Amino acid sequence: EVHLVQAGGGLVQPGGSLRLSCAVSGFSSNHYWMHWVRLTPGKGLEWVANINQDGSEKYYVDSVEGRFTISRDIAKNSLFLQMDSLRAEDTGVFYCARGRAGFSRQLDIWGQGTLVSVSS
C-alpha cells in the first residue's frame, strides 16, 4: 500500500529553522515529482515547492524562495524540506504529496500533515 509518513515540525521562534521529512512506502519516489503544500489560516492551501525525479529541478513559491530548500534522498526513499529564517506567516500544517503519474502537478497521494508553529 502507498503511504507518505511525515515527521518533524513543532514550535520554533521567528528566525529559527526546522526540517520536515516525508518517508515514502509502496512506491519509488524517484519515479515521481514530489511536492510540499501548506494549509495556513491566512491563505488556505498554498503550494510551497516541488522537485523532479532526480532532484535536478526544483521550484518554489516566491514567499519561501531563498529560505526553504526541498531535497530528496533516493536511497532512503524520502523527501525533505529545510526551512530557515522562519516567519510567523509560515505557521500552518505542511503536507508532502506525490505528483500524479502523467500529471505531475496534480497531487494524488498526500502525507498526514505536520504542524509548524512560528511564534515567540
**Site residues for another protein per CB under 8 A:** 35, 37, 44-47, 50, 59-62, 95, 97, 100, 103, 105-108, 110-113
Q: How far is CA 37 from CA 18, 34, 72, 75, 106, in A?
A: 16, 10, 16, 23, 12
Partners of 19 in the β-ladder = 82
d(C-alpha 80, C-alpha 74), whole Å: 11
- Least gap, CB of 67 to another protein (angstroms): 15
Is 33:49 a contact under the CB 8 Å cutoff? no
- Least gap, CB of 21 to another protein (angstroms): 16
Q: Which is nearer to another protein, 41 or 75 (CB)?
A: 41
Q: Which is nearer to another protein, 40 or 82 (CB)?
A: 40
Q: Which is nearer to another protein, 70 or 107 (CB)?
A: 107
